[in-house]
Amino acid sequence: MANKKLDLRNPIFHDDDKAREHIEAMLWPDGPVCPRCGVMGDRVIKLQGKSTRPGVYNCKDCRSQFSVTVGTVMERSHVPLSKWVLAAQLMASSKKGFSALQLQRMIGTNYETAWFMFHRLRECTNDPTSGPLGGQTKVVEADESYIGGKARNNAYGPPPKKMAVFSLVEREGKVRSRHVADVTAKTLRNAIVTQVDRKSYLMTDEAPVYTKTGEEFSGHGTVNHSANEYVRHGGFMHTNTIESFFAIMKRGVYGNFHSVSEAHLHRYLSEFDFKYNHRSALGYDDSERAAAILRGAKGKRLLYQWPDKAMHV
């Protein structure tokens, strides 16, 4: 599939009204919907008074006013909507990640705002409703890796903490990653059996933490990395798919983000999972990835303090 060229001169990246219309098309494909009572159609009217901000609607049933940002990560944000759309596009177009410092330089905000925006857009990439990976005749690879600095690069002080990341990838399919507290048979079993169909063929390295869990699946294949064995049985036995995913993720961490805190690691993992699950090999281009991020904003209302009654637009 040929990747569509991105034109940064598109008005949605510079005009707030065009950006709002773009977001409404993503979140309201069938027209405005009241986020409080769910009505739509002629029960929702657009307010067009001189004292009314653009994009505000009124619900005739529950008498509440709302805009497309209500109930999303953009709610109550003072950042212009065109900058939100541009930030989503830049994130979607960067295979190995896009740093908040670079976003700060490109959209003209301060660092705190750029960091705030990217973390909320990463929340939009999280999809907890997906079904299990694999299935009959499908192969799912499992492996763990570690994020963190190396002791030899630390001039003084204690060695930097290593954070364990466990991932599952279906060959020619999707990936799921999570941060785990420890790499033990009990911890990894729980991560595997809750995410992978038991009819799948499980593929791992020779680590003993997978031995018992592998017996619960239709088959369990291993390769012995400690003996420099990476592929066998005509190319069927390998974990190269998951190793390739880890390579992309680590290039992003070490080359763009440089440092990732444990408190926010799960958000970075969601971003890399999302990009892999919306890669060009599965039929997505940069614009479609950006649109998927904006659609993911719906229902992810992130506020520091929940209001009691008033709906904010």
pLDDT tens, residue by residue, 230-259? 998 888 999 999 999 999 999 999 899 988
pLDDT score for 3: 59
Q: Please state, in angstroms and rounded to a whole number, the distance separating the CA atoms of residues 164 and 230.
A: 22
Beta-strand relationship, 163-170 and 139-147: antiparallel
Residue 33 carries which DSSP code? B
Q: Please state, in angstroms and rounded to a whole number, the distance separating the CA atoms of residues 292 and 147.
A: 27
Q: Is the pLDDT of residue 54 over 80?
A: yes
User: Is 83 or 48 the better-scoring residue by pLDDT?
Assistant: 83
Q: Is the pLDDT of residue 88 over 70?
A: yes
Backbone φ, ψ for residue 170 (5° rounding): -90, 125
Please report, as a single letter, which amino acid is at residue 164: A
pLDDT tens for each residue of 114-159: 999 999 999 999 877 678 999 999 999 999 999 987 777 777 777 7
Cα 275 off chain centre by: 7
Please choose, from the candidates 151, 140, 148, 150, the residue with its C-alpha nearest in 3D space to the C-alpha of residue 249. Answer: 148
| Residue 148 · residue 161 · CB < 8 Å | yes
Q: ∠ CA(108), CA(114), CA(117), 5° rounding?
A: 125
pLDDT score for 308: 46
pLDDT tens for each residue of 157-196: 777 788 999 999 999 999 999 999 999 999 999 999 999 9
pLDDT score for 307: 42
Residue that the structure tokens 């990936």 belong to: 175
User: Is 194 or 3 the better-scoring residue by pLDDT?
Assistant: 194
Per residue, what are the HEC states of 169-207?
Answer: EECCCCEEEEEECCCCHHHHHHHHHCCECCCCEEEEECC
Backbone φ, ψ for residue 207 (5° rounding): -55, 130
Q: Please state, in angstroms and rounded to a whole number, the distance separating the CA atoms of residues 251 and 109.
A: 26
Q: Is the pLDDT of residue 200 over 70?
A: yes
Those residues with Cβ within 8 angstroms of residue 226's Cβ, 6 or more apart along the chain or in another chain = 206
Please choose, from the candidates 250, 105, 236, the residue with its C-alpha nearest in 3D space to the C-alpha of residue 177. Answer: 250
Please report, as a single letter, which amino acid is at residue 163: M
pLDDT score for 310: 42
pLDDT score for 129: 67
Work out the number of other CB atoms within 10 angstroms of the CB of residue 285: 18
Tokens found for residue 250:
């680590």
Residue 36 carries which DSSP code? T
Q: Most distant CA pair in the chain: distance in Å?
A: 74
Alpha helices in the chain (DSSP H): 16-27, 81-93, 100-107, 111-124, 185-193, 211-214, 240-252, 265-277, 286-295
